[in-house]
Amino acid sequence: MHWLVLAVSILYLVYALSVIVNWYRHRFQFRVLIPILAYAQLFGVGILACHLSDIGQSEKNLINQTGKPSYFLGTTLEWDEPKPRSKMNRIALRQGINDEMGEAQGEIVIYHQFDSLLRPGQVILISGNPSLIEPPVNPGQFDYQTFMRRQGISHSHFAGKNIHILGEVSSQPIMDFFSAIRMTLLKKIEEYIPDPNSKQIAKALLLGYKKQMDPEISQAYSATGAMHILAVSGLHVGIIYGFFFLFVKPYHLKRRARVAYLLLLILVIWSYACITGLSPSVLRAATMFTFIAFAQMQSRSPSIFNPIALSAMILLLFDPFLLYAVGFQLSYLALLGILLIQPLLVRIWLPPYRWLEYCWQISTVGIAAQIATFPVSAYYFHQFPSYFILSNLVAIPAAFLIMAVGIPFLLLSPVPIVSSILAWLTDWLIRVMNFLIFWMESLPGASVKDIHFDPSEIGLYALTVAVGIYLWNYPKKTTAWAFVCLLGIMGGARVVNLFIRSQNNEVTWYALQKGKAIDISVSGQLWTWDTGNAKEIEFNVKPNRSRTVGGTVYPLLSFEKDGKSYLFGPNGMGMIEPSPDFVRKKNKIFIWENGAWVPFRADSGTKPHAALKAQL
C-alpha cells in the first residue's frame, strides 16, 4: 500500500499547489482540475482506509494465527442475546493459551449455555478452539462469513458451559454506560407493556432493539413498506430535534445562549444514538443533525447536501465497511430521494384541503423514498410493498404519536402512576398500528416477491433516475432521448436475462446439513425436489430457485427402490438418482466456491463440500 500513500500525497501536493496559485493570482483557475483532484484524493483515502481497517492486515489477528489454542482469554463486549438453544455474545480476544500461541487480537462470536447472563466488560476464560466462519456453500445463500468479517469478526465458537469468569474491566466505559441504560429501559418495557407484540414494536421503535422480534411481525412491516419506522433513523432523531425547537427557537436567543442550547441538543441526540445502539441509520442522522446544529450556532442555514456528504465521509473514515451495511445504503438513498424527488412530485397537485395536503405530503415522501431505494431493497430483500403509500399514511403519524408518548414513558418510568398511564397509551397506540399493518399485509397482492437485481442493473437504474430528475428540472430534447434510451436498455437487459435463463438446461445439487435438494432446469421450466429441514430449504435453497426460475415450477416425483430414492426426470430423462452420479460420465461438473461456479473433478475422490451443477 506504499504506492497508494505516495499517490495520495502527490495528488494532495498538486491540489494544494493549484489552490495556492489561485489564491496568489486572485483568480479561479483550474475549474476542472481542482474538483477532479479532490475526488481522486477522497477515493484514494477511502481505499487506504479500507486496507487499514481489514482484519487480515494485522499479523496478531486470529485470522492470521496458525496455532490452535486450548483455551482463550477474552472480554465480553455486549449483553447476552438469547437464542433458541443458547445465548450469543461478542468477545474481544486477549490471548490464546497453548504452547505455540501468545498474544492474539480480534473478535469472536460465542454461543454458550452458561447459567448466568454475561454482561459487557467481563473477562472470561473459555476452553476450546474457535472455528473459522465458513463461506456460503450454495448459490444465493447469505454470505455470513463476509458479513461478519466486515464487522471485524472471523471466528465463532460454541462454548457450552465451559466458561470461567475471572473478573471485570472497563474496556469501553462510555458504551457500557449507555448499554446498561438500554437494558434498564428494555426491562421497563417488559414490565409495563403487557401485549407481547406491542413489547417488540416498542423496543424496536423507541430503542432500536430488534434482535428478538418475531418473524411474523418483521414480515408484516417489511411486506407493507413500514419497516423503516422500526429502524431508528432520521425520522426518530428529527422528532427529538424538532421537539426542542417546539418550545425554544434558537435563532431568538443571544449567541452564547444559542450555542449552549444547541450543544445541549447535540448531547441529547448523541446520547439517544448511543442508547439505541449506534446503527448506521442513526449514525447518519445524528452526524447530519450535528452539522446542522453547528451551522445554526452561526445563524446560518446551509445547504442540506453539505451535511449529508460530510456525515457520510466522516462515518466512512471511521468505519469504511459501513459502506456495505444495508442500513447505511438505504438510509442515504432514501434521504437523497426525499430531497431530490419529493419536491418535484409534490408540485404535481395542490390539494384544496389542509388534511389532504398533509396526506399528499406523506405520500410523496414515501414515493420518493421508494424510487430511490427500490433496486437496492430488491437486491437484498427481493420484494416490493404494493401498499407502501397506504402503510406510510398509518405508520408515520403513528410513529410520531408513539414516540411522543413512549419517550416520556421511558424517562418517567421510575414514577409508578405516571409511567403506568403513559405505558397504557403507548401499548394501545402500538396495538392499533399493528392491527392496521397486519390488515394491510392480508390484502391481496400486498407484496410482489421474487424480484432480483444485479449490481449492473442497479447502476443502470440509478443513471436512469438521475437523467429523469435532470430532465424534469431542465427539459431538453436530447435529455429526453437519453432518458428513453436508458429505459429501453433497462427493459431490454431484463428481457435478455430472462431469455438466457430460459435457454439454460442444467441440474443443481444443493449442499445441506440435513436432507437433499435438487433442481433441474429445462427450457425455462424448473423441476424441484427436496427433503429435510424446511428452514434450511428456505434460507439455503429458495434464494437461488427464485433467481433462476424463468417459467413454471414443477415438483419432481420420487419413489423408493432397493432402499434407494429415485426421481422421474423431466422431458424423457427417465429414472434418476438425486446425486451427481447419473451425469458424471457425460457432463462437466461445477462446484460453488468463493461466490462462483468453478470446475470440479468428479473422479478425484474428493467429497464435494458445496453445491454442484452440471449442464445437460
For residue 182, the one-letter residue type is R
pLDDT band of 3, cuts 50, 70, 90? confident
CB atoms within 10 A of CB 326: 16
Residues 350-362 have a mean pLDDT of 89
Residue 105: closest CA among 163, 158, 40, 59: 59
CB burial string 560-575: b at 16+ within 10 A, e below? eeeeeebbebbeebee
Secondary structure element (H or E) that encloses residue 457, with its range? helix 455-473
Quote the cell numbers at residue 582.
447419473
Burial (CB count <10 Å: 0-12, 13-18, 19+), residue 449: exposed
pLDDT digits (tens, 9 = 90+) for 270-323: 999 888 888 888 888 888 888 888 887 776 666 788 888 888 888 888 888 888
pLDDT digits (tens, 9 = 90+) for 538-577: 888 888 888 776 556 788 887 777 767 777 777 766 666 6
Half-sphere exposure of 57 (CA within 13 A, CB side): 9
* 3-state SS record for 360-420: HHHHHHHHHHHHHHHHHHHHHHCEEECCHHHHHHHHHHHHHHHHHHHHHHHHCCCCHHHHH
pLDDT digits (tens, 9 = 90+) for 421-453: 999 999 999 999 999 999 999 999 888 888 888
Predicted confidence at residue 201, as pLDDT, reads 93
Half-sphere exposure of 80 (CA within 13 A, CB side): 17
pLDDT digits (tens, 9 = 90+) for 57-94: 877 788 887 767 777 888 888 888 888 888 899 988 87
pLDDT digits (tens, 9 = 90+) for 471-517: 999 999 999 999 999 999 988 888 888 777 777 788 888 988 888 88
Predicted confidence at residue 578, as pLDDT, reads 65
Quote the cell numbers at residue 129.
478452539
Helix (H, G, I), strand (E, B) or coil at 525: strand
Residue 555: closest CA among 609, 502, 519: 519
Grid cell 500525497 is found at 9
Predicted confidence at residue 303, as pLDDT, reads 75
Residue 527 has pLDDT above 90, yes or no: no
Quote the cell numbers at residue 45.
483515502
Residue 339: closest CA among 350, 331, 328, 329: 331
Secondary structure element (H or E) that encloses residue 536, with its range? helix 534-540
Residue 605 has pLDDT above 80, yes or no: no
- In whole angstroms, what is the distance from residue 252 CA to residue 245 CA? 11
For residue 554, the one-letter residue type is Y
pLDDT digits (tens, 9 = 90+) for 223-238: 898 888 888 787 788 8
CATH number for the region 62-171 comes to 2.40.50
For the four alpha carbons of 100, 104, 109 and 114, in that order, the dihedral sign comes to positive
pLDDT band of 342, cuts 50, 70, 90? very high
Residue 96 has pLDDT above 70, yes or no: no
For the four alpha carbons of 125, 128, 129 and 130, in that order, the dihedral sign comes to negative
Greatest alpha-carbon span in the chain: 92
For residue 315, the one-letter residue type is L
| 8 Å CB contact between 294 and 288 | no
Q: What percent of the chain has pLDDT over 70?
A: 93
Q: Mean pLDDT of all residues in the chain? A: 84
Give the predicted TM-score (pTM) of the model: 0.86
Predicted confidence at residue 401, as pLDDT, reads 92
Predicted confidence at residue 439, as pLDDT, reads 94
pLDDT digits (tens, 9 = 90+) for 365-416: 999 999 999 999 988 888 889 999 999 999 989 998 999 899 999 988 888 8
Residue 206: closest CA among 170, 181, 242: 181
For the four alpha carbons of 34, 40, 44 and 45, in that order, the dihedral sign comes to positive
Predicted confidence at residue 523, as pLDDT, reads 76
Residue 203 has pLDDT above 80, yes or no: yes
Grid cell 490471548 is found at 95
Quote the cell numbers at residue 174.
462510555
